[in-house]
Amino acid sequence: MPVPDKRVTIDDVVASIRSGMTVGIGGWGSRRKPMALVRALVRSPVRDLTIVSYGGPDVGLLCRAGKVRRVVYSFVSLDSIALEPHFRNARQSGAVQATELDEGMFLLGLQAAAWRVPFLPTRVGLGSDVMRLNPALKTVTSPYPDGEVLVAMPALNLDVALIHMHRGDRGGSGQCLGIDPYFDDLMCMAAQKRFMSVEKLVDTDQFLRAGPPQSIRINRLMTDGVVETPHGAHFTECVPDFPRDEAFQREYAGTAKSDDAWDAFKARYLDVTETEYQAAVQS
């Protein structure tokens, strides 16, 4: 079959991310996050990233590891633990800058970037303090007789997108077997360089054995590289492959309480290769 080979390694992905870049991360809260790629970023020397995410532990880990200058978000949550404790610490100490948006504005920003338009109009934000907190946000007046004033949500242009899918092929097509695809396709289309980790790399003709055509949410126009990372979404939810590891997530959240706890967690789970991480969480 004439399919390109876009397979890369975790190191290849990290090597393409430089300090100061804007990185979009797929998933939602503590669900289907490309955690193997996030862990590799934590190990890397990059700094001063702008992270764009429907945020979960991806944001918390990167903030705690000192990789982040700014977070663009509408929430950062671990789902079963409502508030991400490392992100809270980073915000409350003033360690990271914040662009706090409504969830839907965030969607429109990604969509505008994907469609290569400078903004999309919306009523979302009017009347709320989103406008006061983000003075760069402008309004636009409808050129039609209604003359309505709308928010001009600017494109959220990304340097790099990182997403995680259940299945993928070597060409970089990706299949979501979970109930909600979230906004991963938009993340990819909003970015210059797009990397997808997958639980399992399969031959293209295996997609339809696992799910219907509409589950192949990521087509290969949306990706530049694919990397197989078994259990790579751990400890976030990746149903039907595995549920969230709640015990591990509680352990992770607990490390926000003291530097000692974080240092021990980091030595055991983050200052190690992905293979060593997976062995450590199995034990």
Partner 1 sequence: MTALRSGPPTRAEYCAVALAECFRGDGELLANPIGTLPTIGGRLAKATFEPALVMTDGEALLVENILPVGVDAPEKVVAGYNPYRTMFDVVWSGRRHIIMGAVQLDAFGNQNFAFIGPPDKPTAQLLGMRGAPGNTIHNKTSYWIPNHSRRVLVPQVSVVSGVGNDRAASLGDRLSTFHHLVHVVTNLCVCDFDTPERRLRLRSVHPGVTVADVVAATGFELAIPSDVPQTRPPVDEELRWIREVIDPLGLGEQEVPNP
Which residues are at the interface with partner 1 (CB under 8 A)?
28, 73-77, 82-83, 87-88, 91-94, 97-98, 100-105, 107, 122-130, 133, 146, 148-149, 179-183
**Residue 263 C-beta: closest distance to partner 1, Å:** 23
Q: Partners of 140 in the beta sheet?
A: 150
**101 or 162: CB nearest partner 1:** 101
**14 or 112: CB nearest partner 1:** 112
Phi, psi dihedrals of residue 172, rounded to the nearest 5° = 95, 15
- Alpha-carbon distance of 61 to 73, in angstroms, equals 15
Tokens 């400890």, residue?
Answer: 235
**1 or 179: CB nearest partner 1:** 179
Q: Partners of 24 in the beta sheet?
A: 52, 161
**90 or 227: CB nearest partner 1:** 90
**Residue 58, token pair as written in the block:** 């991806």
**Residue 174 C-beta: closest distance to partner 1, Å:** 16
Q: Partners of 198 in the beta sheet?
A: 165, 228
**Residue 119 C-beta: closest distance to partner 1, Å:** 16
> Contact, 152 vs 139, CB < 8 A?
yes
**Residue 39, token pair as written in the block:** 């862990």
Q: Which amino acid is at 143?
A: P
**179 or 247: CB nearest partner 1:** 179
H or E segment and range at residue 13: helix 10-15
Burial class (CB in 10 A: 0-12, 13-18, 19+), 180: exposed
Concatenating the DSSP letter of every residue in 64-95 gives: HTT-EEEEEES-B--SSSSS-HHHHHHHHTT-
Residue partners of 209: CB distance under 8 A and separation at least 6:
none
**Residue 281 C-beta: closest distance to partner 1, Å:** 26
**Residue 120 C-beta: closest distance to partner 1, Å:** 12
**Residue 8 C-beta: closest distance to partner 1, Å:** 28
**Residue 227 C-beta: closest distance to partner 1, Å:** 25
- Alpha-carbon distance of 173 to 203, in angstroms, equals 10
**68 or 76: CB nearest partner 1:** 76
**29 or 34: CB nearest partner 1:** 29
